[in-house]
Structure 1
Amino acid sequence: MSAPAIAILHRDDHLVAVAKPAGLLVHRSPIDRHETRFALQEVRDLLRRHVYPVHRLDKPTSGLLLFALTPEAARSLTDAFAAGAVAKRYLAVARGIVPDDGVIDHPLTEEPDRFDGTEGANRLPREAVTLYRRLAATELPVATGRYPTSRYSLVLLEPKTGRRHQLRRHLKHLRHPIIGDTTHGEGRHNRLFREQFACGRLLLHAAELTLPHPASGRAFTISAPIDAGLLALFDRLGWRDAVPPQWLPPAP
């Protein structure tokens, strides 16, 4: 099944923000040669002009994705991301009851990728920091392994560094992996969500960015509401009221 159409959230003379569906690549990748749809090309087609990618969002992650509209804006935004001047906020569904809040300060080695030139890169651990806060939790009367019930948490994540797959690897390190993560997660819990909720996607959503606007330098916040599928899942788990209101989709 193909990913839903991309939607424009904000556009001005310098940048465009879109809501990337889960399952859509940002740009062409040798890893997914069979893919024919890419966020970069779709935004170009929508705007009928060249756009410049300034950050990455993994294929299985949904949510906010920025593109610059001019080379000058691209340099400004790329520099802001590289300097850690962009505040990023994500929603995730994690296995178990995550602690109320905390800091994951756990260095990560660069994951090798022969397609982008990092396969032979320096493998020494690099600083990686993520803040987290549990927004809600639930216990389902469904057995998982030797446990008679299954518990899950809705978590707000704020990465302070930008390592590859940082949030997925940090939640695994916390022993509360993200549901739907086929690399760093747990198969039996991923399977439970497929069977109980018909949900096979990675439950990680890029909800909000605060960054210096490339023209004015003033702090600028953009949000990407969760999609209808995530909202329906959160309703079934009793979590709608725990989602910050600006991240809920508008009423029909």
Structure 2
Amino acid sequence: MTPPLSLLHQDDHLVAVHKPAGLLVHRSQLARGEREFLLQRLRDQLGQRVYPVHRLDRPTSGVIVFALDPNTAASLQAAFAARRVEKRYLAVVRGIGPQQERLSYPLREEDGRRPKAEMPAMEAVTEIRRLDSVELPIQVDRYPQSRYSLIEARPQTGRRHQIRRHLSQRGYPIIGDAKHGKGNHNRFFAEHLECPRLLLAAVGLAFDHPASGRRLDLCCPLDACMTTLFERFGWSGHLPAPPRHHDRRSAMP
């Protein structure tokens, strides 16, 4: 039996949920052959209709918000489009990443329907900061030691695969990224560290509540895979705090 989704916040207007890694948010052209989607699972769990307002890539875990009525959905979609939503991600990358940097590499859309040459490059900005690092006495690549970093990423724009592509272009691909990463490091984490997934998690969202106007600051814990890895690497101090109220229903947050 599939366990229920973990609710991070719920009121009369919206609900925030912890999306598991590997689960598509809703039906799309990428969903051929898929039978399970986050939107349907959440709808069935709550017993009411929910409205998507933003997205997370299929392999990414973390916080995602759904509206509970069309007006709230429109307000939240406008907030995301106007970049009034603060987003915080944690990623495990290969190498010792920069202490702090603003990545500003224009990106073409990756929709698979048109040749890339026909797609205009659009502005894409990601603020990154290295929170911690580790060196393992194991040769995974050509060096006798292997180094990895914990990176905090705050995307200022919302391009598809933006964080993954920006970190890869900068030379610090995310572990578990089959498209933009390196296979030998991905296999090492899958086979020896029990992390066979993309190590990218959306751990925070902050925005003005569309009904009350009050600031809503959502924090999402990591899943078991990433939590165990953080503990193994000595990064426990960077684990996001679990929510104090998993299911809170009120008209105002």
In the superposition, the TM-score normalised over structure 2's length comes to 0.91
1:201 corresponds to which residue?
A: 197
Structure 2: how far apart are the matches of 1:213 and 1:38?
A: 26
1:139 is the counterpart of 2:135 = yes
Match of 1:176, as an amino acid? Y
Q: For 1:194-232, what per-residue CA distance to the aligned partner results, in whole angstroms no more than 9, with x for missing partners? A: 121121100000000011111022221111111222111
1:46 corresponds to which residue?
A: 45
Contact in 2 for aligned 1:25/1:38 (Cα 8 Å): yes
Structure 2: how far apart are the matches of 1:242 and 1:224?
A: 12
Higher relative contact order (CA 8 A, sep 6+): 2
How far does residue 121 in structure 1 lie from its aligned partner after superposition?
A: 9.7
Contact in 1 for aligned 2:221/2:239 (Cα 8 Å): no
1:152 corresponds to which residue?
A: 148
Q: For 1:125-160, what per-residue CA distance to the aligned partner results, in whole angstroms no more than 9, with x for missing partners? A: 111100011111001111023210110001110000
Q: Which of 198, 206, 209 is 1:210 aligned to?
A: 206
In the superposition, the TM-score normalised over structure 1's length comes to 0.91
Q: For 1:158-205, what per-residue CA distance to the aligned partner results, in whole angstroms no more than 9, with x for missing partners? A: 000000100000000110000000001111110110121121100000
- Flag the 1:3–1:102 CA change in 2: closer, same or farther, 3 A: farther
Q: Secondary structure of the equivalent of 1:99? A: coil
Structure 2: how far apart are the matches of 1:177 and 1:4?
A: 32
How far does residue 243 in structure 1 lie from its aligned partner after superposition?
A: 3.1
1:92 corresponds to which residue?
A: 91
Q: Secondary structure of the equivalent of 1:148? A: coil
Structure 2: how far apart are the matches of 1:15 and 1:139?
A: 42
Question: What does 1:63-102 align with in structure 2 at a 5 Å threshold?
Answer: 63-102=62-101
Please list every run of 5 or more consecutive structure 2 residues that lacks an aligned counterpart in the other structure: 247-253
Match of 1:8, as an amino acid? L
How far does residue 122 in structure 1 lie from its aligned partner after superposition?
A: 5.6
Contact in 2 for aligned 1:168/1:178 (Cα 8 Å): yes
Contact in 2 for aligned 1:168/1:184 (Cα 8 Å): yes
1:167 is the counterpart of 2:163 = yes
Structure 1: how far apart are the matches of 2:164 and 2:218?
A: 23
- Flag the 1:120–1:50 CA change in 2: closer, same or farther, 3 A: farther
Structure 1: how far apart are the matches of 2:118 and 2:5?
A: 36
1:26 is the counterpart of 2:22 = no
- Between 71-80 and 209-218, report the one with greater CA deviation: 209-218
How far does residue 120 in structure 1 lie from its aligned partner after superposition?
A: 8.3
Contact in 1 for aligned 2:136/2:145 (Cα 8 Å): yes
Q: Secondary structure of the equivalent of 2:171? A: coil
2:180 corresponds to which residue?
A: 184
Please list every run of 5 or more consecutive structure 1 residues that lacks an aligned counterpart in the other structure: none
Structure 2: how far apart are the matches of 1:120 and 1:103?
A: 25
Structure 2: how far apart are the matches of 1:247 and 1:170?
A: 30
